[in-house]
């Protein structure tokens, strides 16, 4: 088995598509930055088992006897969140929101998401070349979409970005600064819940509040956590994927860039392959999606003891040659087996179809408008934004 290659501390970080990942193999012991032992699972079939097996869950990561898994406060540590519940409790909370994110529901949003894309591209072109495509397009696109869904028009987007950045920060900010941002974010979410309960509208937050109140068993803390979690999740994956996809396409595959601009079908196919082959992060903080064994369980021929922390390495699973034998395949070939980028099982990302649509429309219309778009600087000069789960360009200067 090979090991993942990590750069020297002072070396430029490699783009995500250039990461050399470990070969998939049986579960093996590693360690989190906290020193906690973790079973690293890398094969596609094994990762799927970790994410779908009811004997392995999220809630016990926060049990009184649980070992430390993070070094700084963050949104993932909230025991009231949808992410950190399992079984019937998880399904009850998830039902309040999942109807809004079905493929059919997402399809109805396509025209206005396209209008958001076009408006941002108008601004990008009007600003002229060179431009920072992250600031002008990749960052504001998903923020604008989630703000419209939640009726946050008029919200201070810089403040929202500040809270979101701190919510999933790694070591970019001092612990006290992160804690302050999290308190402010929680207060914002609670006030939003109270406002929509008093004066409901047609937005997602109002629907969540009404569904939770009708259910009667969802606490105010859980509802608030759900609302702020959607704000973060609603833009983090799309912003990261879009930025990293642009680095790959503009630096490595200009022919694919031009083809993506020709039709939406090509853009849709490329979106699936890019989501599979370009990781969201480099696993500096977490080697994968964390779970904890509720009881002894066998994974890939290895017995994992009860109470052990398990990391499902979706990045390596997405390149498992047993499932994707062509390796870095043609971006426009059918993907076959779905990737693990959005997880699997009960905690499969609710916003997966929305993220796909934003990425597909964003890449297609940007490539259609600016087929000659190119990077102004070498990839070695990229300043990276690093979070607990993701890494993406802080800025990306382009010319056309």
Q: For the beta carbon of residue 230, count every other beta carbon within 10 angstroms.
A: 23
CATH class given for the domain over 16-399: mainly alpha
Degrees, nearest 5: CA angle 252-400-329: 20
Label residues 191-203 b or e (16+ Cβ within 10 Å = b). Answer: ebbeebbeeeeeb
**What would the 3-class secondary structure string for 81-106 be?**
CHHHCCHHHHHHHHHHHHHHHCHHHH
User: In the prediction, which pLDDT does 199 show?
Assistant: 95
Domain residue limits, the chain:
16-399
Q: Are strands 397-399 and 131-132 parallel, antiparallel or unpaired?
A: antiparallel
Question: In sequence order, which residues have a C-beta less than 8 Å from that of residue 129 and are 6 or more positions away?
Answer: 398, 399, 400
Q: What pLDDT does residue 20 have?
A: 86
- Least confident range from 122-131, 233-242, 312-321: namely 233-242
What pLDDT is recorded for position 158? 82
The tokens describing 394, both together, are 């802080």
Tens digit of each residue's pLDDT (9 = 90 or more) over 69-91: 987 777 777 777 777 888 888 88
Residue 5 has a pLDDT of: 47
Lowest mean pLDDT among 10-24, 298-312, 353-367: 10-24
Mean pLDDT for 54-58 is: 95
Which 3 state secondary structure label does DSSP give 4?
coil
Measure the CA–CA gap between 229 and 350, rounded to whole angstroms. Answer: 11
Between the CA atoms of 312, 314, 315 and 317, what dihedral angle is there, to the nearest 10 degrees? 100
- Percentage of the residues of the chain whose pLDDT score is greater than 90: 62
pLDDT, residue 178, reads: 86
DSSP of 205-231, one letter per residue? HHHHHHHHHHH--S-HHHHHHHHHHHH
Confidence of residue 359 (pLDDT cuts 50, 70, 90): very high
Percent of the chain surpassing pLDDT 70: 96
pLDDT at 58 over 70: yes
Tell me which of 171 and 271 has the higher pLDDT: 271
What is the structure's pLDDT at 7?
47
Q: What is the pLDDT of residues 167-183, one digit of tens each?
A: 877 666 788 888 898 89
- CA 136 – CA 1 distance, rounded (Å): 42
Average confidence (pLDDT) over 100-109? 87
Distances (CA, A) of 28 to 186, 303, 304: 37, 11, 10
User: Half-sphere exposure of 26 toward its Cβ, with a 13 Å CA cutoff?
Assistant: 6
């Amino acid at each position: 088995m090979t090991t993942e290659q990590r750069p020297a501390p002072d070396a430029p970080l490699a783009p995500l598509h250039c990461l050399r990942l470990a070969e998939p193999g049986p579960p093996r012991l590693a360690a989190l930055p906290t020193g906690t032992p973790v079973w690293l699972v890398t094969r596609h079939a094994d990762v799927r088992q970790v994410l779908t097996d009811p004997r392995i869950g999220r809630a016990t990561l926060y049990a009184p006897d649980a070992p430390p898994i993070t070094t700084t406060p963050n949104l993932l540590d909230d025991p009231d969140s949808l992410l950190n519940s399992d079984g019937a409790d998880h399904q009850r909370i998830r039902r309040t929101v999942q109807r809004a994110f079905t493929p059919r529901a997402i399809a109805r949003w396509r025209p206005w998401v396209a209008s958001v894309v076009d408006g941002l591209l108008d601004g990008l072109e009007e600003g002229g070349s060179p431009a920072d495509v992250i600031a002008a397009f990749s960052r504001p696109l998903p923020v604008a979409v989630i703000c419209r869904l939640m009726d946050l028009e008029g919200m201070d987007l810089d403040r929202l970005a500040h809270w979101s950045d701190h919510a999933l920060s790694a070591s970019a900010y001092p612990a006290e600064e992160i804690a302050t941002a999290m308190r402010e974010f929680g207060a914002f979410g609670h006030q939003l819940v109270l406002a929509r309960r008093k004066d409901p509208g047609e937005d997602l937050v109002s629907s969540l509040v009404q569904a939770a109140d009708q259910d009667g068993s969802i606490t105010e803390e859980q509802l608030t956590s759900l609302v702020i979690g959607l704000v973060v999740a609603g833009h983090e994956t799309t912003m990261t994927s879009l930025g990293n996809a642009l680095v790959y396409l503009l630096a490595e595959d200009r022919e694919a860039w031009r083809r993506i601009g020709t039709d939406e079908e090509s853009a849709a196919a490329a979106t699936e392959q890019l989501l599979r082959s370009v990781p969201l992060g480099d696993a500096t903080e977490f080697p994968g999606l964390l779970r904890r064994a509720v009881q002894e369980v066998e994974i890939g021929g290895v017995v994992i003891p009860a109470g052990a922390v398990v990391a499902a390495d979706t990045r390596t699973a997405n390149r498992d040659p047993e499932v994707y034998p062509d390796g870095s395949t043609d971006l426009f070939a059918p993907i076959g087996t779905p990737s693990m980028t959005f997880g699997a099982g009960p905690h499969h990302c609710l916003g997966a179809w929305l993220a796909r649509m934003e990425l597909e429309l964003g890449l297609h219309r940007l490539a259609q408008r600016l087929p000659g778009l190119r990077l102004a600087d070498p990839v070695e000069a990229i300043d990276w934004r690093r979070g607990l789960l993701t890494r993406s360009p802080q800025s990306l200067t382009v010319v056309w």
